[in-house]
Amino acid sequence: MRQYLAGRIRNIALTGHSGSGKTSLTEALLFKAGATDRLGKVADGNTVSDYDPEEIKRQVSVSTSIAPFAWGSTKINLIDTPGLFDFAGETVQGVRAAESLLICVSGKSGVDVGTEKAYKMAKDASKATMFFVSKLDADHTDFYKVFEELKATFGPTVCPIVVPYVEDREVKSYINLIDMKAYTYDEKGEPHEVEMPDFGHRLDGLTAAVSEAVAETDEALFEKYFSGEQFTRDEIIRGVHTGVTNGSISPVLCGCTTNLQAIDMLLDGIVDLLPSPWEKGGEVAVDADGEPVEVVCTDEAPLAAYVFKTIADPFIGKLSYIKVISGKLSADMTPINSRTGQPERLGKIIYVRGKKQEDTAYITAGDIGAVTKLAATETGDALCDPKKVLNFDPINFPKPCLQMAIKTEAKGDESKIASGLQRLMEEDPTIAYENNAETHQQLVSGLGEQHLDVLVSKLKNKFGVSVSLEVPRVAYRETIRKKVKVQGKHKKQSGGHGQFGDVWIEFEPTVGDGLVFEEKVFGGAVPKSFFPAVEKGLQDCVKHGVLAGYPVVGLKATLVDGSYHPVDSSEMSFKMAASIAYKNGMPEASPILLEPIGNLKVYVPDSNTGDIIGDLNKRRGRVLGMNPSADGLQEIEADVPMSEMSDFATAIRSMTQGRGYFTFDFARYEQLPSNLEAKVIEEAKKFAGEE
């Protein structure tokens, strides 16, 4: 593939709700542009962008892929992103590398949650937006209903560019409102100009909407519009392009991917209306002194490139997807990784289309490519000219919200699981992993059930480890409610020196996480040299409570009396005596179980607050209050037992159709209701038996 200057490149993130037709649109664009020789289908598992075995099996995108192609003298880097919210981390990566978002909207289902999220993502990141209404050949589609939905949801920025002429619920032709021409398409997707159909007032309204949008972008154009003159084709294109670039216009186009209807007009619209990296690809970075630096997207500037995605494959090695923001990236360079401060040796520099790779000598400013075998470079790192090391804004990944425990199917696989997960976490920063020493479980967190399901499949297929997932054990605690005084006496004779230790200890509740030990022994009943042994014996004991074996907290132990033998007493004897006192005293001190409580902040639309509060009540939650949130949602704050939260991520997604999200952090321990103690104790015994 030949090289292009930044002004002749378009970096487009293809986003939208799951099932809106993004992957099929990618196929149609590639085929129409001559980049592929067949029109792949998701159902057949032969599309360019969904090449991963998981995607072919599930018939849904689970990772972001790049599909570059040329249309005329312009290179288009199409970044196909997943629509499922479980793979939102992949979408964030794709959006980071683009200047524009092409938001795919189904002509059947209209504006979905994924449409709203994609538009918000574009606005938050100051990206240009364009809508494409797809599937107009399907039954029960209604472009104009969807168009009105877009206007109602996203406001006056929505501007029609390509619209269908419909008779008897069937699209007869497509009208380009810039050229004011109508086209039909043959079975090969080739356009044929036809007479403009009689639209009546609807066409007048659509053309007026375009003219008004164009007039708002430039004073001279506004004056021309105000005086009643018609805009030329070039003026309309220039005006819409300006509006799209500054965010005041979101053009709407439409078509059908299965028979390539109006796909040529979409390609023209991408080239004519969306901004190039030269216009919108520059960024503000921070230099070594912490000062902001404007980085211009041009080949003449020093190298500054950003790694927005990593693929870690056990067979082909590590592949880093890179957006060059300024300068050129070539194989003979040794750039500096701004995070590590170390030079990075480059492997092969390639262009990627799906799973196919093509070697290239260099990547120009504004373009997207990949580099193999970067040893220390991770997603989010910048590679810079040694004379001008810069740091760019990081990618804000969604935090994992669903945690599960990994159950190995073969003993001894724990280390293989850890190393496999480490590689997968390089690919996907929305995965978190920890080895919980208390519950003896390997815990993995992700964005949802499908996300973790794909993770399990990848562990098996890529790293040969078969695992299953189960609900994590809860780390309970034990404490006491009343004060007791008990004796612990250890006496053993076995020929020669015996063992003798005798202590009286008061156990009482206190505030704190561990054991508080004091001694109030008078008259040398227990020599001072044995005090540490008594404390050590108790410290060993509080690791396991008497109810269910959970660690004991909030316990104060005071050594008040005892006796010793000048020959048979030893540190071990007093450790044993302390242990006996603990075992005798704890059951008498009204022991109880404590459960971990987390502080929950859940953000949902106003219409869902009642459902969420009802759900939290079922989970034994205490709602602390509600506040309006900055993103138009309601924040509900509550304290909820952690044992009740295992499926909350799935529940909130179901109740809010994916609009809601939450944060949940450990706050403190509280007494477990007595009616639940028996079940927890039984489970603890079962766990101890398994060990």
Q: Please state which CATH class domain 402-470 belongs to.
A: alpha beta
Asked: is 594-686 a CATH 3.40.1000.10 domain? The reply is: no
Give me the pLDDT at residue 495, please: 62
Domains 283-384 and 478-589 are alike in CATH topology: no
pLDDT tens for each residue of 137-182? 888 899 999 999 999 999 999 999 999 999 888 899 999 999 999 9
On the question of pLDDT at 25 being above 90, the answer is yes
pLDDT tens for each residue of 439-491? 888 899 999 999 999 999 999 888 888 999 999 999 999 999 999 999 999 98
Give me the pLDDT at residue 496, please: 64
CA distance 653 to 650: 5
Instruction: Return the CATH architecture of domain 6-280.
Output: 3-Layer(aba) Sandwich (3.40)
pLDDT tens for each residue of 27-50? 999 999 999 988 888 888 888 888
Secondary structure of the chain: what % helix, strand, coil (to 5)?
A: 30, 30, 35
* Domain coordinates in residue numbering, the chain: 6-280, 283-384, 402-470, 478-589, 594-686
Banded model confidence at residue 689, pLDDT cuts 50, 70, 90: low
CATH topology of domain 283-384: Elongation Factor Tu (Ef-tu); domain 3 (2.40.30)
Give me the pLDDT at residue 138, please: 85
CA distance 177 to 40: 30
Whole-angstrom CA distances from 522 to 21, 117, 361, 485, 561 are 83, 71, 85, 16, 7
Task: Give the mean pLDDT of 665-670.
Answer: 92
Q: Are the beta carbons of 439 and 491 closer than 8 angstroms?
A: no
CA distance 602 to 323: 35
pLDDT tens for each residue of 575-598? 999 999 999 999 999 999 999 999
CA distance 62 to 528: 66
Q: Which residue has the higher pLDDT, 188 or 524?
A: 188
* CATH number given to 478-589: 3.30.230.10
Cα torsion 429, 41, 4, 321 to 10°: value is 20
**584 dihedral zone (left: phi>0; alpha: psi -120 to 50; beta):** alpha
